[in-house]
Chain A
């Protein structure tokens, strides 16, 4: 078994140019999904039979079927249907097939991510202690205020680790975007490999890039978690107390010196 390192390096450079596409896919999908998923989570928590039934059906469908199948289905359904609508319903000469296929990728991945994130947000809202709502209302806030100021910020912090996991799996799933002719990392490396049938090297390159990206995403979420969950920590940790002690000593010394 021989691995051509030269080829790997070349493929690596080519595949690097696919990173923006992969990141774009991930972040645009997240931007679309997070608000929608949040409202969906709220919709499921409100005890309204019809809405929670519909949302439950949707979530069950998305989580019960493979994403490959969803990609293939929507990629064969959407363009032709849109074309039909533009041609025969709206009677325009607009060419749907000139669209960048990344639009369909956004659609499919958002449909998938909304379902997952709605579950994440639902369980996050459940983790907030009910006393928080009571406390807010007891100091005269309305229920809406209590939710927007007290419950939701805490729930979002609680959801953060799971949002991170969802992002990682979304990032991995974007490797399937090549099925929709989106030129992401996987697609570019595969095209390089097809020339000389160097598939092993190409896939090893893709693997390395994904591990790299995944590490970066995880570090970012770790950082966000640490900085957002500050309120959970006790105000004066023992080390802080010591630090404060040193500070106060320093202040005392400086005032003394100024007095002199």
Chain B
């Protein structure tokens, strides 16, 4: 057996790195078109009549059950034929066209769920409040709903984006030269040797890309959540379980309040009520948070 050659990883990396741009370009195109499709689908699910809603839901369900690679090959073999019957020849089109088309269909479905759950996560009272102080419908949406909904949508969007990147590697099977495609080419040029080293180099590139996307998203989320009140922020952050399971009473803050109070009068009705109402509010937020998580959980992987 040929010994493992770690230095080869560093020889391959500079050859692969330029193709990150191809991967990112495909992702950008897909996010644009898939986002539009997702918006349409989400609008159909939220505001459409019975037929539209059914169609949009059926589409999402259908796509959810289809493996990306199957969709990719159906588009790759089927789309030129389909268009040819309308007299359009795209047989010489770039492979990127087929990849973006495929993943637009896939990504659109998951984005529709992201948009829908984000929209539903916002309390209708928010838009009512906006309208009641004299904002127009569009203004309410843009200034009140959108900033809050985007904060809810962001983690799920990031998840979908990372998924898109990972599934996008399948594009090499139809011959697109992105990170994966270039890696396969290098392995081919070496007649199959140094495959492990090349794979490790690709692992590194993809992993770093994922971590970068997640880091940017976390930053952005922090920025979007800047308007939250302190207790809401505490809810949106995940707590260490040992704290939650072992010392749950600290969660409500009642005990802290009791501790801070100096005498009997501080724990009078007013204070107790405020502590109580706060805890019930927290619980509501927790429920809401949980609900949105459940809504989007299907994109976990």
Chain A residues in the interface with B (C-beta under 8 A) = 1, 45-47, 60-61, 63-69, 72-73, 76-77, 80, 84, 116, 119-120, 123, 125-127, 129-131, 133-134, 161-162, 165-166, 168-170, 172-173, 175-176, 186, 199-200, 203-204, 206-207, 210-211, 213-215
Contacts and interface: CB of A to CB of B under 8 A. Distances in A.
Nearest to B240: A47
Interface stretch (B71-79, B89-97, B221-229, B265-273): B71-79
A175 B206 contact: no
A68 B168 CA distance: 10
B207 A130 contact: no
A133 B245 contact: yes
Interface of B: 1, 62, 64-71, 73-74, 77-78, 81-82, 84-85, 162, 165-170, 172, 180, 195-196, 199-200, 202-203, 206-207, 210-211, 238-242, 244-246, 248, 251, 290, 293-294, 297-301
A199 B73 contact: yes
A172 B67 contact: yes
A206 B1 CA distance: 39
Given A207-B74, A210-B66, 15 more contacts: A1-B82, A64-B211, A66-B165, A66-B169, A72-B199, A73-B200, A116-B301, A126-B241, A130-B251, A162-B297, A169-B301, A172-B65, A172-B66, A203-B70, A203-B77
A211 B300 contact: no
A65 B300 contact: no
A14 to B, nearest CB: 16
B65 A203 contact: no
B70 A175 contact: yes
Looking at B68, B166, B248, B301, the one whose CB has the most chain A CB atoms below 10 A away is B301
Contacts of B78: 1, 200, 203
Nearest to A127: B290
B142 to A, nearest CB: 33
Nearest to A61: B207
Nearest to A176: B69
Contacts of B172: 68
A215 B300 contact: no
B241 A215 contact: no
B166 A65 contact: yes
